[in-house]
Amino acid sequence: MKLFYGEITAQKVIINDEEQQHIVKVLRMRDGEEIYVTDGKGKLASGKLIIEGKKAGIDVSEIKENLPEFSPKLHIAIAPTKNIDRIEFFVEKAVEMGISEISIIVTEKTERKNINIDKIRKQAIAASKQSLRFHFPVINDAVKLTDFLKNIDPEHAFVAHCHENLERIDLKKIPQLKQLTFLIGPEGDFSEKEITFLAENKIRAVSLGNQRLRTETAGVFVAAWNYYNMI
């Protein structure tokens, strides 16, 4: 399946401008080839490619709507790493495994304050197409930890940290839920003050095992755990 991103309405299907350039200049696809276009919101159009100079369009043969989403839905709030490549790696792999939402959170020990969210969003779209996803994940703007907590339901939220002296439950003991939010800290982990603050906000703490995992590894681990539960 040759899948591209675009706008789908009842009247027309428009392939994204950057996607059109990729089709014409990089892939050098030919007029009449079968292609698919998704809007990343559960719609999928199929048809024949139309090449007109430097423009690419689609002669639509079918549009499918309301394609099923992944369940359970997973939202990971993760602190950015000093080396941005590590977070980009996490985003790519988590998207491939069906994550529904990603938030970048700023914590006490966060070293990197500036994140190119637009670049992250483009990477999420690319990973979605590569893995044939028709519902693209939401990528939120960076936000402080305290502000992030104002908009989540603690009944579905968990924090993964490495403080062995503080209470944590085993990942296997988390109940089956239709929606999950996981918070993952920066290099150096959340501070004990932050862990206490999260506990006061009724965010339950979990252990991801005996090994100490890097930030991006912890994120990928949780995404893989949730992906396994989808199967």
Three-state SS at 111: coil
DSSP calls for 177-215? -SEEEEEE--TT---HHHHHHHHHTTPEEEE--SSPPPH
In eight-state DSSP terms, residue 80 is P
Give CATH 3.40.1280.10 domain extents, the chain.
73-230
Give CATH 2.40.240.20 domain extents, the chain.
3-64
Confirm or reject CATH 2.30.30.90 for domain 3-64, answering yes or no: no
Tell me how long the chain is. Answer: 231
Q: Nearest 5 degrees, angle CA 39-CA 41-CA 47?
A: 35
Burial of residue 72 (CB within 10 Å: 0-12, 13-18, 19+) is middle
What does residue 42 show for φ and ψ, rounded to 5 degrees?
Answer: 105, 5
Per-residue pLDDT of 169-192, as tens digits, reads: 888 889 889 999 999 999 989 998
CATH no. for 73-230: 3.40.1280.10
| Entry pTM | 0.92
Alpha helices in 74-187 (DSSP H): 84-96, 117-130, 145-148
Percent of the chain whose pLDDT exceeds 90? 85
| Structure confidence at residue 163 as a pLDDT band (50, 70, 90) | confident
User: Beta strands 55-64 and 44-52: pairing type?
Assistant: antiparallel
| Structure confidence at residue 6 as a pLDDT band (50, 70, 90) | very high
Q: Which of 35-44, 58-67, 222-231 has the lowest mean pLDDT?
A: 222-231
| Structure confidence at residue 165 as a pLDDT band (50, 70, 90) | low
